[in-house]
Amino acid sequence: EPEVTQTPSHQVTQMGQEVILRCVPISNHLYFYWYRQILGQKVEFLVSFYNNEISEKSEIFDDQFSVERPDGSNFTLKIRSTKLEDSAMYFCASSESLAGTDTQYFGPGTRLTVL
């Protein structure tokens, strides 16, 4: 069964450094998403991406964050100048069609630890 994959599974970085989290969505999916889950809290929407551009973003997704689809398979989340409060699980998801009408399938997540 096709699945969303994410690398690395765990990333440790120093405060102020830049990190890139990588995702490979399901191959025939057209919509891609990033979510964040701070430990013990609910999952929060960050951004959605379609046709090589951001379709929607939350207030969490400020100038510190950017997303990119550098090739036909990868979807990345870049966090510039990381802060302690960026420590969280980051989930990538993808859906075949428009989010409101289709199921989003989640990757296993990347645990980001900022020291």
Partner 1 sequence: AQTVTQSQPEMSVQEAETVTLSCTYDTSESDYYLFWYKQPPSRQMILVIRQEAYKQQNATENRFSVNFQKAAKSFSLKISDSQLGDAAMYFCALSADGLTFGKGTHLIIQP
Which residues contact partner 1 by CB under 8 A? 33, 35, 37, 41-48, 55-56, 58, 89, 91, 93, 99-101, 103-109, 111
Nearer to partner 1, 37 or 64 (CB): 37
Shortest Cβ 35–partner 1 spacing (Å): 7
| Residue pair 81/16 in contact by the 8 Å Cβ criterion | yes
Nearer to partner 1, 14 or 96 (CB): 96
Nearer to partner 1, 14 or 28 (CB): 28
Q: 100 in helix, strand or coil?
A: helix
Shortest Cβ 16–partner 1 spacing (Å): 26
Cα separation, 67 vs 47, in Å, equals 8
How do strand 110-114 and strand 10-13 relate by DSSP bridges? Answer: parallel
CA dihedral in degrees (95, 101, 103, 106; nearest 10)? Answer: 50
